[in-house]
Structure 1
Amino acid sequence: MSAPRTILDGPALWSAQAHMPSVVGRQLVIERGQGCYIQTIDGRRLFDGTAGLWHANIGHAHPALAEAARAQMVKLETYHTFARFVNDRAIALAERLAGLSPIADPKVILNTGGSDAIDVACKLARRHWQREGRSTKTTILSREYAYHGLHAFGTSIAGLDFNREGYGTESLVPETARVPVHDLDALAGTIARIGPENIAAIVTEPIQGTGGVNPPAPGYLEGVQQLCRQHDILFILDEVITGFGRTGNMFAAERFDLEPDLITFAKGVTSGYAPLGGILISPNIWHPFYVDDAATPVFRHGATYAGHATACAVAMANLDILEREDLLSRVAQLEQLLDRLLKQLQARRPSVVDVRVCGFLGGVTLAEDIAAERAADALIELGFISRPLRGNTLQLSPPFITTDDELTQFVDAIDHVLSTEEAK
């Protein structure tokens, strides 16, 4: 049966991660934002309970970031960072990030976002072992329910099967494997089965985001790190969501006392005001590419907009705000409030199967008879944005500038929706 003309004649824009027949005609067209709120072209004002896609940490339309972008653009919009060329803003941002890094004495590769960062980190892990002469170490491990963007490597290491399916092969990059989400014994078994001599790295989010807001089981990340050290496997921490304050620390590595070999970052570095991401690289990896020797190799990374001067200027202004307004301390306060509110919600609502909070990240898992998609739609009608995630889970990750009253109202709205659903 052919699709209705109203769908086929819809907008030219092909939306991301969308079943298009389900969204055409229902799309919320956002035209402006202010603080914790966004507004649609038809005048609806909505509390941004997800901070966009986990990124609007300082809220929307902050004038300081707009001014930073304007000031940079009238001076130099950007210049590439290939070979001998580099721009001053990319240098300044890299130095500042190195100073904030939980990795001691890192180098910084800048690019345009989280998917880019994962691609570069996985390539660098493989390039590292090839340079070391250990040519069989090519496999990248990742966890069940993981999300690491949708470039070729991110698609290949996804722990959400629907993001890997439909491309004619189990994995776009063949040397990948998944391990159970919290099971160290299973990880050790996978390492033994594949052979540590064949494994380049394991990639993990410290707190899984799209997979359902899954904090690590106690001791799990520390155990992963120990297995990596024991078997000479690189430990890559994907902090695209958690980096720059979302856990109450600048990086989740600090919260969990981890020392990864590579950290990927994006989203929170600019609070989404400009597309920017990158990786922090430990000396054991970067040093051989820097020694002055005839055999020193080139790591072939780079993109036109990597180290984009305006994006870097915006990132610097964003970091200023995080520090000046002491927003990391505010995140710690909001975490405590969110934890209390969600536990109260679970106690009141039989339709709430589980709640999870770690940092200013919350997940509310619903009973099977109440679809998270339907609950999220009902929340929009009440003026609040949540997002349905894997496991029939609602996402809560508002901006860091959220007030106690706004957070309480958000959870109250979820309570109202669930009460209505339970009464049906």
Structure 2
Amino acid sequence: MTETVVSSALTPKEHREPSRLWHTFCDMNTVAKGPEFVVARAEGVWLWDQSGDRYLDGTASLWYCNVGHGRAEIADAVHRQMTTLDAYTVYGDFANAPAMELSERLAAHAPVADPRVILTCGGGESIDTAAKLARSYWVTQGQPQRQHLISRTGGYHGLNGFGTSIIGMERFRSGYGKLIEDTSVVRHDSAAALEAEILRVGADRVAAFFAEPVIGAGGVFLPPENYFTDVARICQKYGVLFVVDSVICGFARMGNWFGIERFGVSPDMIVFAKGVSSGYLPLGGVVVNGRVADPFWNEAGNPFLHGTTYAGHPSACAAAMANLDILEREDLFTVSREVETHLDSALRGLADHPLVAEVRSGTGVMGAVELTEEALNERGVTTAEVFAEARTRGVIVRPVPKALLVSPPLVITWEQIDHMTSTLSSALDAVMARH
């Protein structure tokens, strides 16, 4: 079957006034000139705009729709839950069955000793939760000076307060004034750089180190061989809490539950979101090992005075449970390893394109096609141009300053992968012809 090439949604078919929706991650001065790209419906790996044109969702929206769009059983599970108990807080001693069942299920699969689960509404909230918990833990241990948080270049940890303060991309930190203090960033590919920074700051002042199994939104950077083994050893040596940010990498995107299992280490905390519900409803959380949980659970007088209004939302948890059922029933953990291999092979076919400097893929269902410095700086090519050309041809990828990123739903077929990469190649050709 030949994939359909759709007409452009970038050229308005009819004039429409811009909506009053303030879009994020964009220059609204440009977006407000319209027309907005309005997604009308979705099914599997496909999206349709208001004009009925079809697009392959090469990014699973924002890395999260792991099981694909339009899964009726998730909607049915949410409907059943909403007609029983729509929403209620889990503050204090309040609980609900879906929140408890989900926590048990996640704990059973987490590569963490004696785990406990804090639920939130997404990745940014979960990072803030883990950061505050790390600092609070050291207060309970009589070491309140251990406040420093270390992260990596290219690391993306959401844009809440702590997330903005530890993000490894300067463009997301500037313009907001003074951020949270006692943070620093080290090279993403050097365990030695982490150890040197711990020693520079003083091991008795460092609370935690944050790292993604594979750096996602920062450009899909894979860890060097033995990197996480070395990192885990260094953190243990200096008593630094090791926090894994699995928001992008979890729930079969790397062929297992949390991504970090690929590297055989057991962190102190795992932050999760996105694929836990495939984005059908907002949900995230933190898996915490028993050692860190112990002073809060087993000693009086150490309340963790932190939480979010919709944490443990029963309908969101019902969506997650149905999503995890699909992951297990369809064995998307195994499927994703096969998709990973084919995606890697297909993306490698772009490596010889004159505009392409590097292809990064092969660990997880994700990849990056980075443009050459010559194309970006001398020819004046932008990744936004390539993105626009790909979307005109019916494929959605994600542009970052130097690269185009892909992270399709795990249910994508070989034919659809080939369509996605061949369309990206055509988009690169079209941009090159203009420059």
Measure the CA separation in 1 of the matches of 2:217 and 2:407: 12
Which of residues 78, 89, 93 in structure 1 aligns to 2:98? 89
Deviation at 1:184, TM superposition (A): 2.2
In 2, distance between residues paired with 1:204 and 1:310? Answer: 30
**Given that residues 147 and 159 in structure 1 are in contact (C-alpha distance below 8 angstroms), is that contact kept between their aligned partners in structure 2?**
yes
Matches within 5 A, 1:156-305: 156-169=165-178, 172-291=179-298, 293=299, 295-305=300-310
> Aligned to 1:59, what secondary structure does the other structure show?
coil
Question: In structure 2, which of residues 392, 400, 413 is the aligned counterpart of residue 381 of structure 1?
Answer: 392
Distance in 2 between the 1:210 and 1:287 partners? 33
Aligned to 1:235, the other structure's residue is in SS state strand
Q: Distance in 1 between matches of 2:54 and 2:205?
A: 52
Q: Is residue 416 of structure 2 the alignment partner of residue 422 of structure 1?
A: no
Aligned partners of 2:78 and 2:43: how far apart in 1?
18
1:182–1:220 contact (8 Å) kept in structure 2: yes
**Contact 1:78 / 1:87 at 8 angstroms: preserved in 2?**
no
Q: Give the TM-score taking structure 1 as reference length.
A: 0.94
**What secondary structure is seen at the aligned counterpart in 2 of 1:338?**
helix
Partner of 2:358: 354
Return the offset for 1:374.
0.5
Matching residue of 1:343:
348
Shift of 1:206: 1.1
How far the C-alpha of 1:182 sits from its partner, in A, is 1.0
Distance (whole Å) between structure 1 residues aligned to residue 427 and residue 171 of structure 2: 28
Give 1:360 deviation, angstroms.
Answer: 0.5
Contact 1:50/1:398 (CA < 8 Å) preserved in 2? yes
Equivalence for 1:135: 144
The question of whether the paired residues in 2 share the 8 Å contact of 1:290 and 1:296 is answered with: no
Specify which of 311, 315, 323 is matched with residue 316 of structure 2.
Answer: 311
Displaced runs of 4+ in structure 1, greater than 3 A? none
Give, in angstroms, the shift of residue 248 of structure 1. Answer: 1.1
| Alpha-carbon contact 1:111-1:306 (below 8 Å) kept | yes
Q: How far does residue 356 in structure 1 lie from its aligned partner after superposition?
A: 0.9
Mapped partners of 1:253, 1:209: distance in 2? 13
How far, CA to CA, are the matches of 1:178 and 1:199 in structure 2?
A: 13
Distance 1:187 1:409 in 2: 41
Give the deviation of 1:251 after TM superposition.
1.6
Task: Please state whether the residue corresponding to 1:247 is helix, strand or coil.
Answer: coil
Distance in 2, Cα, partners of 1:209 & 1:105 = 28
- 2:73 alignment partner in structure 1: 64
Report the residue type matching 1:17 in the other structure: F
* In 2, Cα distance between equivalents of 1:302 and 1:189: 34
Q: TM-score, normalised by structure 2?
A: 0.92
Query: Alignment partner for residue 336 of structure 2, among 310, 331, 337?
Result: 331
CA contact (8 A) 2:385 2:431 kept: no
Correspondence 1:148 to 2:150: no
Contact 1:146 1:159 in 2 (8 A): yes
Report deviation, 1:222: 1.8
Verify the 8 A CA contact 2:150 2:183 in the aligned structure 1.
yes
Q: Which one-letter code corresponds to 1:21 in the other structure?
A: N
Moved more, 152-161 or 338-347: 338-347
Alignment partner for residue 403 of structure 1, among 376, 399, 413?
413
**How far has the Cα of 1:325 moved from its partner?**
0.7
> Cα RMSD over matched residues?
1.2
1:13-69 deviation per Cα after TM superposition (whole angstroms, max 9, x unaligned):
111111111222142111211110111112221100000000011111110101001
Measure how far apart 1:420 and its partner are. 2.6
Return 5+ residue gaps in structure 2 as ranges: 1-16
Distance 2:166 2:204 in 1: 19
* CA displacement at 1:380 relative to structure 2: 0.4
The alpha-carbon deviation at position 287 of structure 1 amounts to 1.4
Instruction: Name the counterpart of 1:3.
Output: none
Amino acid at match of 1:350: P
After superposition, the C-alpha distances for 1:139-164 in whole angstroms (9 at most, x for unaligned) are 11111111100100000001111111
Matched AA of 1:64:
E
The corresponding residue for 2:12 is none
Contact 1:288 1:296 (8 Å CA) reproduced: no
Output the CA distance in 2 between the equivalents of 1:186 and 1:111: 32
User: Does structure 2 retain, via aligned residues, the 8 Å contact 1:48–1:385?
Assistant: yes
**What SS is found at the alignment partner of 1:354?**
strand
The one-character-per-residue Cα deviations of 1:347-388 (angstroms, maximum 9, x if unpaired) are 3x1221101112101111112243211000000000000011
The residue type paired with residue 188 of structure 2 is: V
Deviation at 1:421, TM superposition (A): 2.8
Cα pair 1:159 1:178 within 8 Å, conserved: yes
| Identity within the alignment, % | 41
* Preserved contact between residue 389 and residue 431 of structure 2 (Cα < 8 Å): no
